[in-house]
A = this chain, B = another copy of it.
Amino acid sequence: MTRTQNEYDAALQQARTGFDEGGIPIGAALWRDGELLGAGRNRRMQRGSAILHGEIDCLDHVGRLADYRDCTLYTTLSPCSMCAGAIALFQIPAVVIGEARTFPGEIEFLRDRGVRVEVLDDPVAAELLTRFAAENPAAWSEDIGGR
């Protein structure tokens, strides 16, 4: 397994855990130089939170950092405008995205702000979210602002 796969798997594991909890299965993990700084998952269902998307939950768990240089954020789904805005705010230089099929996200915004973006097109992440959305269409719509 390559390093990217290993690091991405920390995000995918969060999505699986979320799915098993009845949550929206999206996970994220922040890595720096081979070290996992923190991970998180969408908590809308588990905590009744509108703002704990996978990436935001992950950054919350990482806590305060003076800077995010040399960090890469792995996320199973293309980031929404809130999460992309957080990535831009903290100048996280690189994002690896599991998939952008189920939700296009803000890849163009990220690239405009100088973020390096890679999309893995992971069918496992897409399958988890597709299953959740089919069973919980209202909750999924709510999580992405009624789209």
Contacts and interface: CB of A to CB of B under 8 A. Distances in A.
Contacts of A88: 81-82, 145
A58 to B, nearest CB: 9
A119 interface: no
A63 interface: yes
A84 interface: yes
A89 B56 contact: no
Copies in the complex: 2
Contacts of A62: 50
Interface residues of A, number: 34
A113 B60 CA distance: 26
B50 A60 contact: yes
Contacts of A56: 51, 56
26 contacts: A44-B64, A48-B63, A49-B63, A50-B60, A50-B62, A50-B63, A50-B65, A51-B51, A51-B56, A51-B60, A51-B86, A52-B60, A64-B142, A66-B142, A68-B145, A80-B85, A81-B85, A81-B88, A81-B113, A82-B82, A84-B85, A85-B86, A88-B145, A89-B144, A89-B145, A91-B146
